[in-house]
Amino acid sequence: MSLSEVRIIDLPKILDRRGNLSIIEECKHIPFQIARTYWIYDVPGGEKRGGHAYRENKEFIVALSGSFDVILDDGREKKTFSLNRSYYGLYVPNGLWREMNNFSTNSLALVLASTPYNPEDYVWDYKALLSSK
Ligand code: TYD
């Protein structure tokens, strides 16, 4: 996959005097069925996550609280996406090298994934990822 497939998706935001509500429905707001949900939290200052790619898994990442950066690389180009609102998220197709860093205190990253957890789906070697393209 190339970086051109990556996109920020705005989510519905229902505002009223009691506060805000946002929604994600699979195959409607995001382009896949959700097989798994996980979240990343209590990240110590200066820590990085990721450092791998997925062969098949696609993800949608939302900063439910606080802020962090997602750095994506397709071997040709590298792009940083700063997430800091809970009413939009980043669609990350499979096959891209990714890191996450710059986590603010108390940030909460929600990740919706298209496949169940499978350690075999991970590519840990950047060079191997490039040679598979
Ligand atoms: P990892 O995918 O390396 O996290 P990140 O990409 O955010 O740095 O996962 C960290 C650990 O959690 C690793 O031991 C695998 C485990 N894990 C699961 O058991 N199930 C999951 O769905 C995920 C995402 C991770």
Would you say the CB of residue 50 lies under 6 angstroms from ligand 1?
Answer: yes
pLDDT of residue 130: 86
pLDDT of residue 126: 94
pLDDT of residue 122: 98
Kindly give the confidence (pLDDT) of every residue in the chain, 133 residues in length, as a single tens digit, with 9 standing for 90 and above: 889 999 999 999 999 999 999 999 999 999 999 999 999 999 999 999 999 999 999 999 999 999 999 999 999 999 999 999 999 999 999 999 999 999 999 999 999 999 999 999 999 999 988 888 6
Homologous superfamily in CATH for domain 3-10+26-131? Jelly Rolls (2.60.120.10)
pLDDT of residue 106: 95
Task: Report which protein residue has its CA nearest ligand 1's atom 19.
Answer: 117
The C-alpha atoms of residue 114 and residue 117 are separated, in whole angstroms, by 9
Residues in CB range of 1: below 8 A, 6 or more apart: 74, 93, 94, 95, 96
pLDDT of residue 131: 85
For residue 103, what is the DSSP state? P
The C-alpha atoms of residue 37 and residue 15 are separated, in whole angstroms, by 25
Would you say the CB of residue 39 lies under 6 angstroms from ligand 1?
Answer: no
pTM, two decimals, is: 0.97
Rounded to the nearest whole angstrom, what is the distance from the C-alpha of residue 24 to the centroid of ligand 1? 22
